[in-house]
Amino acid sequence: MSFFERLGERIDAVDSVVSVGLDPDPDRLPEHLSEHDLPRWAFNRRIIDATHEHAAAFKPNAAFYEDPDGWRALEETIAYAKGKDVPVILDAKRADIGNTTRQYANLLDDDADGPAADAITVNPYMGRDSLQPFLDQEDKGVFVLCRTSNPGGADIQDLELAEGDLVYERVAAMVDGWNRHGNAGLVVGATSPDELEAVREQVPDLPFLVPGVGSQGGDAEAAVEHGLAGGVGVVNSSRGIIFAWEDGQSRRRTTEGDETEFADAAGEAARRLKRRLNQYR
């Protein structure tokens, strides 16, 4: 079964298109978790327990695990999430040349040492050969950066090419052509709804991973109407869910007796986002 088939089954099973981003910033973790051997894993486990019934996918961002303890936490996180039957998208934005990119592709290899995700995000700006080792893994998903949710994404992605199309439009067209195994999708942010709509019109059948809904203020209705119009796809929120326990003025630390507060708040935030997105499905 392909990744997108598995993702589609998960979406149907939980009636949700929510992807929960697992970005455990060490400076924002509840203080009581510091006593654990792997605080990031302890945090993620509680978040997964609280949110999995509302999650179509979990999306850990590799940037928060780039150290020995972090890598161990990531391995535990991926295994635990998959044990809950939730697909895992590793947000790594990898790509490189030759043997280097083949090594990066091991992040999807179930027989390799280390974490083996179900899908990964990749960067297209080194060309097709830098992505081919990912695309060759037919049962894994490959989400290619197209029109990202950060404000600076326009600096390059909105540049007009000599033929008149924009860079992000050319990326979408190329990925559509590279999708020989039906395992490729696009990352298109909800913070630029006009571009989201334009990309969907251009590639009506590609699955989208839509970030930016939540703390980045992306358009939830556009995320569903355009981002998910191709069928299978997910809308991601990271900080808006996992740090929902923080108040609007300052970080609120848990104290003895309310150690589940942060997880309870995450579960409620995931439930609310699921309900909000389902209004437009």
Active-site residues, by number, are: 93
Q: Within a 10 A sphere around the Cβ of 53, how many other Cβ atoms? A: 15
Q: Single out the residue of 216, 163, 214 nearest to residue 51, CA to CA.
A: 214
In this structure, are residues 167 and 159 in contact, taking their beta carbons and an 8 Å threshold? yes
| Virtual torsion, Cα 127, 129, 133, 136, nearest 10 deg | 90
In this structure, are residues 58 and 48 in contact, taking their beta carbons and an 8 Å threshold? yes
Distance CA 33, CA 200 (A): 42
Residue type, 266: A
Distance CA 268, CA 240 (A): 11
Q: Residues for the chain: how many in total?
A: 281
Distance CA 266, CA 46 (A): 9
